[in-house]
Structure 1
């Protein structure tokens, strides 16, 4: 049961009012640095087989802060471009208030699977989801092969990419991904098994690290297996109540 910890980068001067996209040289501001230090402290005790990052500066800074604050040496940051931000094309760097007047904005909000961003470098949200989910599957296989099936790793990425990965894990159509939230410096945890993923935590900006990893199997009790429910009590497949 490989566990993926998805972290969104901390705040930057452009986060919120402007669509930053692949703007080069955009690092964290003071607020963002404080956010990622707090995040690093919260998950310092979680064993990580690897820390992977989008190639963009704001994610690299976030990933480096997490690695530096970890209780055990993590090693170098691995960069995977597939976790990079959506390529927003000609929308990059424009104010969101201005973009909200564009006809395409409504498509992005209500029918994102049909949205392709304008310009030669623009990609579709479906393409962005495909590359990110493929990257997750590749890293799951690599981490399990190198560190065992119960290993965990962390990926630092961007809001829309994280939402797209969570939608896939939940079995949601991409058109529903705007219902998911991923705030700056938030933590999302997904546990992948042979049969299905379990979304353990989403958009967490203040919780502890307890329950992020599965409890060790108890052979005497017949626990474990590839599709055992996540730690934290209750069945994750409960028909009602969400296993709370």
Structure 2
């Protein structure tokens, strides 16, 4: 390992001292700090905004929904639409892969900029350790090994994998963007192929189910919004109890 590589690795792993525990940087933020910080929040806001739209699009344009959300239900219905000739299969696959990967670089960049600070924040605890952190192998004081993080990035589409933590950890340990995207692409292709292929095999019944959901989109959307609000309230109360 060259001296330059060692210096870069040390810079990436270094945790900058913080002025405020809810911000991942110390001192005056740079333009890149602000860009990345607002990008992270926009990603979360975008994901929340998609909740009420899912029932409207699932039975009318599941390919677009797959590109917007990267969810397995939309991929499945998109595959079913491809089976009956309503959408090209290649487009359904590409939409699913894009939907999974479109915002992952934001969290990789956050890990690159702020190291363990952003990882701990994403895990649900201020970087200064004033509140207990979730017991995750990706949310410790030191980064996990590269092979663990690389595996987490590859299997990130799986529901139980904390995607933001995996992506930020990749930036934390200095994983280059091409390597990060290559590993992420492998997992995205496998996950999209699985559910799009499932929908293609099911065909018309999956199309009819999606259309039925869209027919009742108003009520499904209201349920999603109310459910999301209640979930946020419960999470806020749990966080308050942990701080007490």
The two structures share one fold, judged by TM-score above 0.5? no
**TM-score normalized by structure 2?**
0.28
Structure ranking higher in helix proportion: 2
